[in-house]
Structure 1
Amino acid sequence: MRFRHPDGTLVHLAYCTNVHPAEDLDGVLAQLARYAEPVRERLGAGTLGVGLWLAADVARALADETALARLRRELDARGLEVVTLNGFPYRAFHAPVVKRAVYVPDWTERARLDYTLDLARILQRLLPDDVARGSISTLPLGWRTPWPSERDDAARRRLDLLARELARLDRPVRAAIEPEPGCVIETTGRLRRTLDQADPEWIGSCLDLCHLAVGFEDPAAAVAAAAPVVKAQVSAALQADDPADPETRRALAAFAEPRFLHQTRAADGRSWDDLDEALAAGGPGPWRVHFHIPLHAKPEPPLATAHDTLVDTLGVLLGGPAALVDHLEVETYTWDVLPAELRPGEARTLVDGIADELAWTRDRLLALGLHEVIS
């Protein structure tokens, strides 16, 4: 989906396909048929943006021209376009247990650089002809421990190599570092130090609005620190105002699940690497939890989402006289680990849920003064 900001910037909205498990090209193509095209039809959109997640083995296979042409044909035939890729998970993002494995390989390792360059070469071939540039979101260097100074130096050298290789591509593709709680780059303040050492033409930030909220960051200050903002992931964090309340603790416990890491932060600065650790420690709130909640489907009280941070950050990014980002990606990958009452079922499918999230985001963009470009 495309929108025009009052300053003339073309803003792209997509949903991220890391919500679907696929470790080979056939699986990716099946996703497009089963989910992406029906989402487009449900929204009545002529063209739908998809933020593809391509596992490392798929990205390597798409070096073959025939395979890549097959993917491009399927996208075109189903009314789908790609301007951004999610290059954060390397593979096995839907394994029974992911947790900290999602940060491997990190930016000290050659494999991370090679994977990101594979994605860049694919994306330049998938970009629509009338699109100025593509983007690839990537992890915030790695998990914070162990991270001695020599690892920081190694990661910086990899990012320098990345920038040089991106500059050689036929079409512009920019990398976007995504701060995340618990990682080397957890906040936009720490991100600024890395961006100041990188080439701003090729490397900027990806602001995940759930992560921003979990860190209790101020939207305006965070956007300023993260410039240039290459990409934003529209996502909502779980919030518990009174985690000491027994009913609230019971409700939170339903979100403590074994697949993904759910970093938890308290407003007073306390932090835990996973929700079960926070529940064991206890203490006053409010708490915010790294659990991507569907944008349109808030949990029942006593839980909530950090809705104000989400809306306020979108306002900072796109509500002013100039668009500060042009790639938006709805990234709720947690649908099948949500508590039962929030999961898609027979009456409302995953297609319905994704379409409703995109419709929610579309309404926010229109309220900010953008206009939908009908294709």
Structure 2
Amino acid sequence: MRLRHPDGTAVHLGYCSNVHQAEDLDGVLAQLADHAEPVRERLGVDRLGIGLWLARDVVTRLTSEPGELQRLKDELDTRGLETVTLNAFPYAGFHREVVKKDVYRPDWADEARLRHTLDCARVLAAILPDGAARGSVSTLPLAWRTPWPPDRADTARRALDRLAAGLATIESDTGRRVRVGFEPEPGCVVETTVQAVRELRGLDPERLGVCLDACHLAVQFEEPGSALRRLAEAGLPVVKLQASCAVEAADPADPTARAALRRLAEPRFLHQTRTAVRQEAPDVRGVDDLPDALDGGLPTDAGPWRVHFHAPLHADPEPPLRSTVDQLGQVLAGLFGGPSADCDHIEVETYTWSVLPEPPTDLAGGIAGELAWARDRLTDLGLKDDQR
């Protein structure tokens, strides 16, 4: 969906296809017909944005076979879909039985990560719809935090310079600008906006910036307004917003809350968990996975727990748990509620539908509900539907 900010900026709203399982091109094309088009029809819009996740094998095929790239472009158009952003964080195997820390491999000290990201940018430049000012690609925040010795950090930094140069070449060749956003995530080398400024300041702001995931921001107990100001003052653009919510247990000692959390402690994805002692500067403490917290790794008397489990935007988790939807609302207000739009790509990224304690029987309806929620919050901020 496209909306228009009062300053004239076209803001693209869509959802991320990493919620669907497919690691070959035929599977990706089937997703468009089986899932994305029904979501569009539920919303009653002529065109729906979909942020594609394309596994490495799919990207290789698209970059080596021009006919297959055209096939993807034609299928998007036939289904009333458009893509302005790709999620290049997972490299492959995102729906294996166990993913956990494998999602952070290869990292930015590995040549494969640079190659994959530039290939994704080439694919995106070829399928960007007419009228889109630019494209965006999101990627991991350098690496998981360990091991990260100085030599690998230096290699990664040089890779980012090569990334900016490669994106400039793509723009010169195609006339389409694609920006890459590094996505701070709990447990990684860059898990907060403070670390983003430290590690990413000085990069080419025309091509590189931050992909801000609102769930991750909440898990780290970052105050949205301060985080956004910090990025702006450092010259780090928000290339893309991933509209997402974390799960919060207000009283993690409550047996009912712990039982509900146990039902979220599933084996596929990593669910980093944090608590914060409420002081002027919150002391954030954390563990790498929810079972670790439940087994005694995190205090229950310091404050609420927040869990990296992407909760549906429009629906409450199992009581007494709640979501951080209020924090997401503050992020939206900070980016879009002022005189100018500080971001133009929004991707609803609830990839956890299949691992909910009770997975939905109507996935298209759930995704449509999330998108409608996001659209309504944006129109409340003064944006207008712009479905031209």
| TM-score, length basis structure 2 | 0.94
SS of the residue corresponding to residue 33 of structure 1 reads helix
Q: How large is the RMSD of aligned CA atoms in angstroms?
A: 0.8
SS of the residue corresponding to residue 267 of structure 1 reads strand
Matched, 1:159 2:160: yes
Matched, 1:330 2:343: no
CA deviations 1:306-327 (Å, max 9, x no partner) are: 1221111110010111111000
Match of 2:316 among 269, 276, 298: 298
Matches within 5 A, 1:280-299: 280-281=295-296, 282-284=299-301, 285-299=303-317
Match of 2:201 among 185, 190, 196: 196
Matched, 1:353 2:366: yes
**For residue 277 of structure 1, what is the amino acid of its counterpart?**
D
SS of the residue corresponding to residue 350 of structure 2 reads coil
Q: Which residue pairs with 1:146 in the alignment?
A: 147
CA deviations 1:144-168 (Å, max 9, x no partner) are: 0111222111111111100000001
Matched, 1:57 2:29: no
Q: Which residue pairs with 2:219 in the alignment?
A: 214
Match of 2:177 among 169, 172, 178: 172
Q: Which residue pairs with 1:261 in the alignment?
A: 270
**For residue 140 of structure 1, what is the amino acid of its counterpart?**
P
Matches within 5 A, 1:78-117: 78-117=79-118
**For residue 279 of structure 1, what is the amino acid of its counterpart?**
L
Between Structure 1 and Structure 2, how many residues are aligned?
Answer: 370
Q: Which residue pairs with 1:344 in the alignment?
A: 360
Q: Which residue pairs with 1:3 in the alignment?
A: 3
Q: How much has 1:297 moved relative to structure 2?
A: 1.0
**For residue 256 of structure 2, what is the amino acid of its counterpart?**
E
Q: Which residue pairs with 2:281 in the alignment?
A: none
CA deviations 1:220-273 (Å, max 9, x no partner) are: 111123331110000010000000111111111110010000000001222000
Match of 1:224 among 229, 238, 246: 229
**For residue 300 of structure 2, what is the amino acid of its counterpart?**
G
CA deviations 1:59-85 (Å, max 9, x no partner) are: 010011000000000001111000000
Q: Which residue pairs with 2:14 in the alignment?
A: 14
**For residue 22 of structure 2, what is the amino acid of its counterpart?**
A
Q: How much has 1:130 moved relative to structure 2?
A: 1.2
Matches within 5 A, 1:19-34: 19-34=19-34
Match of 2:377 among 360, 364, 370: 364
Match of 1:182 among 180, 187, 205: 187
Matched, 1:311 2:312: no
Q: How much has 1:17 moved relative to structure 2?
A: 0.1
List alignment gaps of at least 5 residues for structure 2: 278-283
**For residue 308 of structure 1, what is the amino acid of its counterpart?**
D
**For residue 31 of structure 1, what is the amino acid of its counterpart?**
Q
Deviates more, 1:198-207 or 1:222-231: 222-231
| 2: CA distance, partners of 1:149 / 1:221 | 30
Q: How much has 1:300 moved relative to structure 2?
A: 2.9
| 1: CA distance, partners of 2:108 / 2:369 | 35
| TM-score, length basis structure 1 | 0.97
CA deviations 1:175-215 (Å, max 9, x no partner) are: 00000000000000100122213111110000000000000
List alignment gaps of at least 5 residues for structure 1: none
**For residue 220 of structure 1, what is the amino acid of its counterpart?**
G
Match of 2:242 among 229, 233, 245: 233
| 2: CA distance, partners of 1:270 / 1:156 | 28
**For residue 352 of structure 1, what is the amino acid of its counterpart?**
G
Q: Which residue pairs with 2:287 in the alignment?
A: 272
SS of the residue corresponding to residue 254 of structure 1 reads helix
Q: How much has 1:302 moved relative to structure 2?
A: 1.0
State, as a whole percentage, how many aligned pairs show the same letter: 62
**For residue 292 of structure 2, what is the amino acid of its counterpart?**
E
Q: How much has 1:374 moved relative to structure 2?
A: 2.4
Q: How much has 1:339 moved relative to structure 2?
A: 1.2
Q: How much has 1:50 moved relative to structure 2?
A: 0.3
Q: How much has 1:98 moved relative to structure 2?
A: 0.2
Deviates more, 1:362-371 or 1:150-159: 150-159
**For residue 25 of structure 1, what is the amino acid of its counterpart?**
L
